[in-house]
Every structure is written in structure tokens, then in C-alpha cells.
Amino acid sequence: MRSSRTPGSASEGRGPEAGPEAASERGSQLPGEPGSPPPTQLWASGQGPEPDLSWASGQRAEPAPERQQPARSPSDNQVSTKPRCHTNCLEAPLSRAFGRLGWAVGSHPWVFLLLPMVLTALLGCGLIYLPKDAEEDIEEQYTPIGSPAKAERRFVQGHFTANDSYYFSFSRKSTEVNYAFVLVVSNSASLLQRESFLEIEKVDEAVRALSVMGENGTQIQYNEVCSRHQGYCAPSNPLLLAWRTNRDFNLRNITYPIFSLAGRITYLAGVLGGTVLGESLGPSHLLLEAKAMRLGYFLKTGEEDNQRSKTWLMHFLNQVKDLEKSLALETIQVVYFTSLSRQLEFEATSKTVIPLFHLAYLLIIIFAVISCYRFDCVRNKMWVAAFGVISAALAVVSVFGLMLYIGVPFVTIVANSPFLILGVGVDDMFIMLAAWQKTNIVDNLKERMSTVYSKVAVSITITTITNVLAFYTGIMTSFRSLQYFCIYTGTTLLFCYLYNITCFGAFMALDGKREAICLRWLKKPETPDQKCLSLKKSCCNPCNSLPEQQADDIHPMNLFFRDYFGPFLTRPEAKFFVVLLYTLYLILSIYGCFQVQEGLDLRNLASDDSYITPYFNVEEEYFSIYGPRVMVIITEALDYWDEATRQKLEKCLQDFENNVYADKNLTEFWLREYVQFMESHQQNVNDRDTFVQHIPTFITDFPLFGYDINISSSHEIICSRAFIQTMGISSSSDKKMMLLEFRDLAKRCEIPLMVYNHAFIYFDQYFSILENTVRNVIVASTAMFIVSLLLIPHPLCSLWVTLAIASVIVGVTGFMAFWNVNLDSVSMINLVICIGFSFDFSAHISYAFVSSSNPSVNQKTIEALYLLGYPMLQSAVSTIIGVSVLSAAKAYIFRTFFKIMFLVMVFGAAHGLIFIPVFLTFF
């Protein structure tokens, strides 16, 4: 919200002696101070000016028209001695400084117009550093800084290795590998039939046959870059391998999730989906039906092979659609995903909003022109309003260029910033124009500029401070992408403020000269001089009526709030309805707060029409039973041959297995197998030397377990690990609880344990999101409270500001759940932003109410709405227009921004125009 304060008549005095200092002195005696009657009392009696509460009058406040005051006797000065709240300690020097600046801008408009443009040209050159095809690291930007999982990953990388050149194991890799997944979905009830497997085999062979020309001109075949198991490419699916090896393989005799294939135990969890199980056969069940199958193509990630693997994956993505069409599949459908897909699709989303930016720019210009259009041809400000939008655009170019110059990364979420800036950055323009419209058209230009700047000084400064503070508070977040977004947007709002008081003010001064010239031409009699007629015609378009220099300039919407909306809202039945409406709002909001989902769904990083969306949909529908295999790592050296130690370790593993999020039958631990191995060979497992001596033989027989044991040169087992199969963690809340319980189990174990899976790096956001949101909201709210005390030092104002901020935050958070918006790194910063806007809406309406001298609370409310109703409405509408085009975006990350800003504006305006005005009448 913005406001303007009228310091006194701008028509007094002429020449340099009536400059900013004189203008400030004329405005130093404020309504309600000792020595002046209460403004509302005079207004009500028709004997004085309407109350000037324009300091609190919102973003586009138009001060009430001045009326001629009768002479007052000394006794009139004693009408009221009621103490009033003022901010003179900050307002007076700020108004004087702005008055001097306005005088300087009016004296040298071309200097103040051209210098910001030159600065924009210089800083805008930094846009050459705008990344075009550079990769944006999703993990770096959208996962918490200092995530515990990142420390766990460093430990795993430092103590365990997993070679993908001979014995590949996906679950044993500490980071994601290069891969391509193809999910096959049967068109019938089950794909466990010969026809389906024949088509699955065709898909598999077609994928393996893909080859692409490398950078050095050599052909890259799949079997050259594939991860290998025992010298061959790792099988894409164990059941497909069994069926291809033996065409008589019985598809009706499969057990799930453990299957014995050629004497080897095979885990089918995550390999088959949409399963229907039959009778129990030990730890498994007979598999009756399976709706889907996963084919996995894993590629090497070594330094030499990594780029070749990515080249093959890019070729796979380019060819897979044509490949699917050429196969003419009848019994199955396929969806696909690669390790590069998330990154590539996310980078593509930023390009989808570029056309929307042009549309937003056009809409804001149209809104500005309509808001500032006057049928009075002299006072018409349509071109000034259009330049005000250009001024905001100049700020965007300057700051974006500056940030790129100094090396602040431009991430995708920053693409939201210009839409918000266009909606919010033009607010100062409307305030300055409203103040300009109230100056005397025949006054000296320098004096008019000085008066305008004095009026708007506190208004545009306080709201710039609060909004910039709200954004800079977001820099404390643990997500780098949000830090960069807040730096870009907060700094741009600051530049908007600077450009408005320099560049835009200069253009307004030049237009003031046009006013004077047009006024002189309109006063001249008609002349046959064709040149004069042309000048007069161009000056007076779109109409040629002579303006009434002393006419009141009250917008019809202000009269609507004073004569209709205010009286209606203060009726008893309307108050009852408002209380009922607020109660319903609060109930729904609190309920929604408990329903909102936490965390950024990775599928939402891509556009709606991306191929990864159906992939994640199929995975969620058919493969959601089993989650990732979690490493349980013994982080210190242990006496594994000691039976008591093994019992402690076994107890801890059983605690994991008995957890609701684990499948106890799918645990994989080398020590259990080793004990059985030693007992089968009749060796003493409790003897240290015997225990250590037979480990190499055990690893020879079970080579994958060699990745799970870190043995020093002195034959000491430094650390080792087991694997727990998770299940039932499809929702974000389940993932959060699983991670929390697993880490708690590791902490409570007598043996030093650690749990890790590379997915935990993304799961950690579920803890950081809520923590960051609460912390940032508290810090930002505290900052707003301090600002309200300093600039609006009235306890009741501060109380209502705090309550309104809390109410809007609860409402926005709750209704996010009803609009399918998660509490994630994208929406979190918007909740912090809404604190600044909530402050704007609530602080000014509260201050206008408590500053009113009306004896009736209803009259106070009507007066506050008269001064603030239209400015508040304009504020909300302009911001909504700025971000509304994002509702048409194909990407969640941009639609979410629109949804939350829409909720912030609607709920903020509802509090300022409806709830707070009614509640204030109860006190």
C-alpha cells in the first residue's frame, strides 16, 4: 500500500524563496496539532477542509479537495487538546529532503530523465551474461543448503565404492547414475502373458540397438557405454532376461517380491508394478497379475565415459517417440524417463513464460492508462502513466544487468520477478500522479514538484522499505534459488523507487510544462493561423474543453466508498454477516493448514505437456508400494567377530525391519550372509583371525558384498553397510516420517549408525521448508512490527497490523491446500512476500481509523474507507494484473506464483476493506 500526505497549499509563495524549505514549513502544522481544530470536526460542519489522512491513504490516495476556510479567532485554537499520534520525527526531515529533490527535478528535468536512462544502458549490458543453454543444477538450487543427506553422501563417497564396469549395483551407488527407464503398461489386466513379453522384448531390443555419432566422429553403441554385470550389459529386467533365455519360462510360477532365478535370489520390488498376489509362499507370494514392468538401462558414469553416456541418452530422448511408433505396439504402452530429463525439462520451462511477459507488460500499460485517463485534456496523464510502466521496466533491466555483472546466478524462479515488479513497481507512479493532480495548475513548476515530492515522501518510502525488507528477509532461507529470487526482486523494487523519484518525476515535470503550454493555448482566442490551430489541436486531444482550475477532483470510486459501501458496511446486519464470513474464512483456513502437502514434487519442475508427467503418473499408480533401498551404515570400526557386538547390531537392524516403513523380508546385510557362510564351512566366526582370514573368499563368492565392506590395509573393517527396503512412502508426509524415524533409530542404536539414500537429499526439504517458512515469517513479521511502531506509533495500529498479517498468512497457507499448491521452496517465499503486502493493507486503514476525530466509530470507518477504499482496490488489482498472465503458464512453478499472489491480494484487500473496518467498530 502507498499513501501521500498533503503538507499545505502549494499556491503560496513564488520564486526560489518558496522552494522546498518554504513548502515544508507550510506543511509543518498538521491536522490535529495544538493550534488547529480537529479536521474531521470542521469537515463535518462544512467549515473546513476534508480530513487529510493521506499519509495512510493507500497506494493511489487522492487527498480530499480543499475548501476555503473561514477566519478563526484565537479561541478556535482551543477546540481540541486530545493527544494525537504523529510521526513528525521521521516525516518532517524526509518531507524536507524530498521537497528539495522535487525542486531540483523541476529545475533540471532533462538531467534526471537522461541520467537513469544512461545508467540503465550501462547496467543493461550485463544481460549479455544471461545464461541461454547453461545447466541449472536442480540439487544445488532447490535442495536445502547444509542438508544432512549431503554430509551423509560425502561420508559414503569417502568410504565406499561401486564399480559399474563389472559388477554394477544401482542401490550401492552414492549418487544418481546415468540411466534411462522405460515403464511398460499392459493394455489388458496383466502383462504376464506371451504376447506382452514378445512386445516388451521388441522394445528392449530397439533401445539397445540405438547408436549415435559422438563428438570425435566415432559411433557410440549402447553396449559400449552400458554399466556391466559380470562382463555383460546389466539386464534391463530380470524376468525379461529369464524369459529371453528360456522361452518355456513359466510366467504363472513367479513369486513376489523375492524370486529364485537359476538358483539366485532376485528382488522384484520396483521391477514389477500393479501386482495382484495369491497364496503365501514363505516370505513371498505367488504372483497372479502384474500391470506394469520397469526396464532400466544403466550407463557408465566414470570421467571418461560420462559424456559419451549423456550423448547416448540425448539420442534416446530424440528417438524414443519415433521408435515407439515404428514398433506399432498393440498390447502395451510405454512411458520413459532419463537421468537428464528432470534437468532438461526444467530448463525448458523458463522459455514458456517469455511470450507471457509481453502480454503482462501490455496489460499493465492499459491499466495504467485507464487509471490515469482524464477527460480534461490538460490534466490527462495517459502518456505519463505509460512512461511510469516503462520506468519499472528500466528498473528490471538495470537490476538484472547489475546482478549478472556481479555474478548473482539467474535461476528459473527469477523469471517470476518481472511479472511481480510490473504489478507492484508502478504503485509509486500512481501516488505521485495523485499528488500532482491536487496541485494548482497555474503555479510555478518547481514549486509544484516540490509540493508533490513532500506529499509522497513518507508514503512511498515506508512501503518500499517494508516490501524490500520482506524480500531481503527471504535471503535467510536455506534454498539458493530463493535467495537469488529475493536478491533480484528486492533490489529491483529499490531501483523502482529510485527511478520513480528521478526518471519518472522528470517526465512528469516535462509533462507539467506541457500543461502550462496547453493551458495558454486554450485561453487564446481562435486564430486563422494554421500552425496555431495544429498546435492547439494536438495539445487538446482527445477533447478541447478548458479545465476548471479550482474544481474539486474527487474520483467517483472515492464517493462510492463514502456514500454507499461505508454506510452499508457499518449497518448491524452487515457487521453480523462480516463476522460470520470471517469465522468461516478462519475455520477453512485452519483446516487447510493441516491438509497442505510439504515439499516440491519433482514432476512439477517440468511443463504440463512434458513426457515426464505421464511417467511419474504411471510410477505413482503402479510402483508406489516400494520406495528406495536405504543404506544403514556402521560408521566406525567394530569387532564384528564379537558375538555381543553382533547381537547389538542385530537388534538395531531388527528395529529398522520392524518399522512400519520397512519390509523385513528384503533386508540385505553382508554380515548375516557371512555368518551363514562361516557356519556352512564350519569355521569359528567368533575368532578374530578366522573371521578376517575368510572375508576375501566370501567376497569372491558374493562379489557385490565387496562394495559393502571397507577394509584397511591392516585388515580392520573401518565401516560397512546394510540395506533396508522401504515401502509405503508415496506421499510427502510419509517420506518425511520415514526419514525422521530412520534417523531416530540410527541415533538410538548403541552401535554408531547412519542412514542414507541419494533421494534423502530431496527428502530433506520436507524438514527445511517448514522450518524456513516459520523462521522467515517470524523475522519478517517482527521487522514489520518494528516499522509500524516507528512510523505509525499507535499501539492499536501495531496490534491490528500483527493480527492482520497472521490472519492473511493463515488464510493463504490454508487455501493453498484447496488449490493444490504444496508448501515448497516456490510457495514459501510468497508467504514471506505476503507479509509486506499485509502490512500495507492493514497498517494504513488502522491508522486512518485511530487518527480520525469523528466521535462515532461508524463515522471513523466510513472516513477511513473514503480515503483508502479505492487506493486499496487499485493496489490489489494492479498486482493481480501483473501476475495474472502466469495463470496461463504451462509450468507449475509459474502457476503457483500466480495462485499465491492472487490469494495474498484477495485476502489482503478483504482484510483492509471489509474485516478490519468492521472489527475496529467493536473497540
The residue-averaged pLDDT of 730-735 equals: 84
The residue-averaged pLDDT of 726-743 equals: 90
Asked if residue 859 has pLDDT above 50, the reply is: yes
Lowest mean pLDDT among 70-79, 736-745, 851-860: 70-79
What's the gap between Cα 782 and its chain centre? 21
| Three cell numbers written together for 628 | 528406495
Output the pTM of the full model: 0.75
Q: How far apart are CA 503 and CA 673, in angstroms?
A: 77
pLDDT at residue 372, as a whole number: 67
Lowest mean pLDDT among 285-289, 327-331, 597-601: 597-601
Alpha helices in 751-856 (DSSP H): 760-763, 765-791, 795-818, 825-851
Asked if residue 56 has pLDDT above 60, the reply is: no
Indicate the pairing of strand 272-281 with strand 284-299. Answer: antiparallel
- In this prediction, residue 534 has a pLDDT band, given cuts at 50, 70 and 90, of low
pLDDT at residue 296, as a whole number: 94
The residue-averaged pLDDT of 330-334 equals: 93
What's the gap between Cα 465 and its chain centre? 21
Asked if residue 401 has pLDDT above 50, the reply is: yes
Indicate left, alpha or beta for 634 from its phi (over 0: left) and psi (-120 to 50: alpha).
beta
Q: How far apart are CA 412 and CA 544, in angstroms?
A: 50
- In this prediction, residue 379 has a pLDDT band, given cuts at 50, 70 and 90, of low
- In this prediction, residue 503 has a pLDDT band, given cuts at 50, 70 and 90, of very high
Q: How far apart are CA 54 and CA 1, in angstroms?
A: 12
Length of the chain: 923
pLDDT at residue 555, as a whole number: 65
3 state SS of 554:
coil
3 state SS of 718:
strand
Q: How far apart are CA 466 and CA 639, in angstroms?
A: 61
Lowest mean pLDDT among 126-130, 286-290, 748-752: 126-130
Q: How far apart are CA 259 and CA 253, in angstroms?
A: 10
Q: What are phi and psi of 167, to 5 degrees?
A: -120, 90
Residue 701 or residue 382, greater confidence: 701
- In this prediction, residue 495 has a pLDDT band, given cuts at 50, 70 and 90, of very high
3 state SS of 825:
helix
pLDDT at residue 89, as a whole number: 62
The residue-averaged pLDDT of 672-685 equals: 92
Q: What are phi and psi of 904, to 5 degrees?
A: -60, -45
- In 3D space, the residue among 482, 468, 475, 472 whose CA is nearest the CA of residue 395 turns out to be 468
Q: How far apart are CA 654 and CA 680, in angstroms?
A: 23
- In this prediction, residue 119 has a pLDDT band, given cuts at 50, 70 and 90, of very high
Encode 587-611 in three state secondary structure.
Answer: HHHHHHHCCCCECCCHHHHCECCCC
pLDDT at residue 602, as a whole number: 67
Give the DSSP H/E element, type plus range, for residue 259.
Answer: strand 258-261
Would you say 674 and 649 are in contact if contact means Cβ atoms under 8 Å apart?
A: no
Average pLDDT of the chain to the nearest whole number: 80
Q: How many percent of the chain have pLDDT more than 90?
A: 36
pLDDT in tens, 424-440: 777 778 778 877 877 88
Lowest mean pLDDT among 341-345, 367-371, 645-649, 726-730: 367-371
In eight-state DSSP terms, residue 502 is I
- In this prediction, residue 727 has a pLDDT band, given cuts at 50, 70 and 90, of very high
pLDDT at residue 373, as a whole number: 66
Single-letter amino acid code for the residue at 96: R
Lowest mean pLDDT among 405-419, 747-761, 784-798: 784-798
